[in-house]
Structure 1
Amino acid sequence: MADSPYIFEIDESNYEQIVLRGSFQVPILVDFWASWCQPCQMLMPVLAKLADEYQGKFILAKVNTEEQQAIAQQFGIRNIPNVKLFRDGQPVDEFAGALPENEIRAFLDRHLPRESDGTVAQAQQLLMGGDAQGARALPEQAREQDPANPRLALMLAQTCAAAGDVDGAEQVLDTLPADEQDNPETKMLRGQLFFERIAQQGTPGADPAARVEQSPDDSDARYRLAAQQIVTNDIAGALDNLLLVMQKDRKYGDDAARLALLKVFDMLGDDPAVNRYRARMFALLH
């Protein structure tokens, strides 16, 4: 372990060079540990094995919290083992405890570059250019060589959605491992598919905006208009319309407007708009 070119003992003299500056070149996995910590002793050989196996795709930096208290305090380390992944000078993800090897691999694979990531970028360019079918073919082919890359699956689902294949997109998302299901991108896409399906279920050829203009109290038209607005990224307009349906017609679709609002809140995550609209929803409920 001591002779590995991919593992470094960190102190104040090399912390900035290896962890901060180094993370602009390659991901740095920082293991905060102590000699008295039994889970730390269990975790260390697993991390060392992976560092050597990944052959420089990441660097393992070990911080003895007993000897390097200033560094540990800087990151608020209270419980160990604590492992943080640094990119571009900042911690971007972490885990605590002696996780099994397969979970650590999954943690690393979410962040480490893979050859097939180039396909994701190519597909994104085609998608932005309006070629949904061409974009879809790239991740489909690449997944045959690298089926474990979740970024390929997510891109494939996005291209399916862009082509109007909601069922196909949902089936692809269902193949993602459990730890990827809570990924913000996954949750956002699932929400978009939920509203895409609602928009598709409307009366063929009927424009919900025109229906709302003709009949402002038509709850079904306003609900489907909100779904259409989510699909076209008019989030504020959609939230306002869902609140209006909830205010005027709570019974519509077995409280469909409130449930849709919760779905949007889940899609938006930490967006500041969530608190504002959640407060408005709460006011209507009470």
Structure 2
Amino acid sequence: MATSPYTTDVTESSFDHAVLARSREAPVLVDFWAAWCGPCRSLMPILAKLAEEYQGRFFLAKVNSDEQQGLATRFGVRSLPTVKLFKQGAEVAQFVGAQPERMIRELLDTHIDRPSDALLSAALDQEAAGDRAGALARLEAAHETDPGNDRLTAHLGRLLCEQGRVAESEAVLKGLSARALGDAEIGAVMARLEFVRMAAGAPPLADLERTVGTHPEDLRARLALGARYLLAGRHEEALEQWLTIVRTDRHFGDDAGRRALLAAFTLLGGKGDLVRRYRGLLAATIT
């Protein structure tokens, strides 16, 4: 058995308590390994080192896949090493193979709570309450102290762009890590940012509605109208504009209608009745 307080060996009988329950307090990284697996032996010291370095901000659970075949089957492990990260009782990320330490750090840092997360939460509450200027000021201050917080960086970039500070937004967003776009929340923020850019410089919503009503063939106005609708929370009307573009001209704007629909699906969380319906309509249109 491991002697570190941050590392433990896990069996089928202890998994739910040692991993799922414990992950509600701090993320748990589960390493599925075997004694005969060379890459497993290379990876294990890296994971153990990180567990000690992070001092309880995450826990490492080791599963001997030969001895715990039921767990390997339960979690669909087909190759070794397979490493899965659990948080709040659910799997949130995984990787397969002996990955470099830098990549593992990025994965952990994406999911480990940090002091700046509380500032981000407070800023988003301010924004929801209508104090966008205060929210932006709080995010800028937090970003100065923790520029490596991808969620904070993404929201700061979005707010800067929405305030018309596009160049500053682009500079901030260059600091996102390579793995950031794999995070659902960050992906949604980035998708929203694309619609902010799409609507930038476009006429007001009412003017776009008149233009599209008078000239339904004006796909550029229809594309911008969809962005205005989406940013106003009128999601179905936005999706309908972009689906109409796809039906009218797949080549317009390098398939802009389809790309806008896919970005909107990401923004809307990739699920729900509206997303499912328009995914089906899009599939029927392009096949």
Q: Give TM-score, length-normalised by structure 2.
A: 0.87
Q: Is 2:286 aligned against 1:282?
A: yes
Q: How does 1:1-286 map to 2 (within 5 A)?
A: 2-203=2-203, 207-248=207-248, 250=249, 255-256=252-253, 258-269=255-266, 270-271=270-271, 272-282=276-286
Gaps of 5+ in 1: none
**Cα distance, 1:84 vs structure 2:** 0.8
Secondary structure of the structure 2 residue equivalent to 1:93: strand
Question: Would the aligned equivalents of 1:239 and 1:277 in 2 still touch at CA under 8 Å?
Answer: no
SS in 2 for 1:207: helix
8 Å Cα contact 2:155/2:189 also seen in 1: no
Change over 3 Å in CA distance of 1:65–1:134 after alignment to 2: same
CA deviations 1:14-62 (Å, max 9, x no partner) are: 2222112212222111110000000000111111111111111111111
Q: 2:19–2:86: 8 Å Cα contact kept in structure 1?
A: yes
Give a deviation string over 1:96-151, Cα, whole Å, max 9, x none. 11111111110100101101111100110111112222111112112222221112
What is the one-letter code of the residue matched to 2:262?
Answer: F
Q: For the residues of structure 2 that align with 1:161 and 1:234, how far apart are their CA atoms?
A: 20
Q: What SS is found at the alignment partner of 1:84? A: strand
Contact 2:10–2:62 (CA<8 Å) still a contact in 1?
yes
Is the 1:20–1:88 contact (alpha carbons within 8 Å) kept by the matching residues of 2?
yes
Instruction: Answer yes or no: is the 8 Å Cα contact 2:158–2:190 preserved in 1.
Output: no
Count matched residues: 280
State the one-letter code of the partner of 1:17.
H
Give 1:277 deviation, angstroms: 3.2
User: Partner amino acid for 2:147?
Assistant: P
**Equivalent residue letter for 1:278:** L
What amino acid is aligned across from residue 63 of structure 2 in structure 1?
V
How far is 1:93 from its partner? 1.2
Cα distance 1:211–1:6, how it changes in 2: closer, same or farther (>3 A)? same
1:114 to 1:10, Cα distance in 2 relative to 1, 3 A: same
Q: Which shows bigger deviation, 72-81 or 228-237? A: 228-237
Deviation at 1:167, TM superposition (A): 3.8
Distance 1:236 1:208 in 2: 17
Task: State the Cα distance separating 1:267 from its structure 2 match.
Answer: 4.2
Question: How far off its partner does 1:215 sit?
Answer: 4.0
Contact 2:198 2:227 in 1 (8 A): yes
Cα distance in 1, alignment partners of residues 256 and 213 from structure 2: 24
Cα deviation per residue 1:151-208 (whole Å; 9 max; x = unaligned)? 2201212322342434433332222122213433343333333332332323479721
Aligned equivalents of 1:243 and 1:21: distance in 2?
44
Q: Structure 1 101/205 Cα, relative in aligned 2: closer, same or farther at 3 Å?
A: closer
Amino acid aligned to 1:115 = P
| Alpha-carbon distance in 2 for matches of 1:49, 1:128 | 41
CA distance in 2, matches of 1:93, 1:205: 40
Q: Which runs of 5+ in 2 are unaligned?
A: none
CA RMSD after TM alignment: 2.4
| Kept after mapping to 2: 8 A contact 1:33/1:80 | yes
Cα separation, partners in 2 of 1:274 and 1:13, compared to 1, 3 Å: same
Over 3 Å counting, the alpha-carbon distance change for 1:107 and 1:274 in structure 2 is: farther
CA contact (8 A) 2:243 2:257 kept: no
CA–CA distance in 1 between the matches of 2:32 and 2:205?
Answer: 60
Cα distance in 2 for partners of 1:143, 1:220 equals: 36
Write the distance in 2 (CA, Å) between the matches of 1:226 and 1:212: 11
Counterpart CA distance in 2 for 1:194 and 1:140 is: 21
Separation in structure 2 between the aligned mates of residue 144 and residue 85 of structure 1, nearest angstrom = 28
What SS does the corresponding residue of 1:116 show, helix, strand or coil?
helix
State, as a whole percentage, how many aligned pairs show the same letter. 38
CA distance, structure 1, for counterparts of residue 10 and residue 224 of structure 2: 57
Higher deviation after alignment, 264-273 or 19-28: 264-273
